[in-house]
């Protein structure tokens, strides 16, 4: 019995230790202010620009870096960072490919600015399209604004089923 009492005493004393003195927590500091990332987007983009992908919000197909154009799909969407709202003109440089136009027939394109319909335009001939139209000042604001260019008909490529709408070269806002 005596060895059991000694073992119990050793085990009980092993758990006894003097508690450390209380210490104050280290001084608290506010977090370092993180610099806002530079906004790579501006008011206008060419598809050949190295940062053109920053402007694409959806339905614009990739192309080789530096290529002067990209195919769009059913509803390509772009975004632009404007320094101010107010008086701006939306400009787009597009093209209709003859091979797709032969299959789809004339295409009606709707241009949207921040959800507002800017214009509906019908195109029956292949080739370059230079679209330019003033935007109502109250449709735009300082910061990121969205643009959608929606063709009513797209060509569906038989090989891979990809929808091909327009050829986009550049777009944005000018004064």
- Could you tell me the two tokens for 148? 């959608």
The pLDDT value recorded for residue 144 is 98
pLDDT digits (tens, 9 = 90+) for 70-118: 999 999 999 999 999 999 999 999 999 999 999 999 999 999 999 999 9
Q: Write down the residue that tokens 């986009």 correspond to.
A: 168
CA 49 to chain CA centroid, nearest Å: 15
pLDDT tens for 2-54 read 666 665 566 656 555 566 677 767 777 666 554 444 457 999 999 999 999 99
Residue range 111-160, pLDDT digits in tens: 999 999 999 999 999 999 999 999 999 999 999 999 999 999 999 999 99
Instruction: Give the pTM.
Output: 0.77
For the chain, which domains are there? 44-174 (2.60.120.260)
d(CA 108, CA 120): 7
**Token couple for 37:** 């990332």
């Amino acid at each position: 019995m005596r060895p059991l009492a000694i073992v119990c005493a050793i085990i009980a004393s092993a758990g006894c230790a003097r508690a450390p003195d209380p210490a104050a927590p280290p001084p608290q500091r506010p977090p370092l202010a993180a610099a806002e990332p530079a906004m790579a987007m501006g008011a206008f983009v060419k598809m050949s620009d190295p940062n053109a992908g920053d402007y694409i919000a959806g339905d614009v197909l990739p192309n080789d870096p530096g290529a002067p154009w990209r195919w769009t799909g059913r509803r390509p969407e772009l975004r632009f960072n404007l320094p101010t709202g107010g008086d701006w003109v939306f400009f787009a440089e597009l093209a209709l490919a003859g091979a797709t136009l032969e299959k789809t027939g004339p295409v009606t394109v709707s241009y949207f600015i921040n959800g507002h319909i800017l214009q509906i335009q019908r195109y029956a001939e292949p080739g370059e399209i230079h679209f330019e139209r003033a935007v109502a000042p109250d449709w735009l604001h300082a910061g990121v604004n969205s643009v959608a260019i929606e063709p009513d008909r797209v060509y569906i490529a038989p090989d891979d089923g990809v929808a091909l709408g327009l050829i986009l070269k550049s777009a944005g806002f000018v004064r």
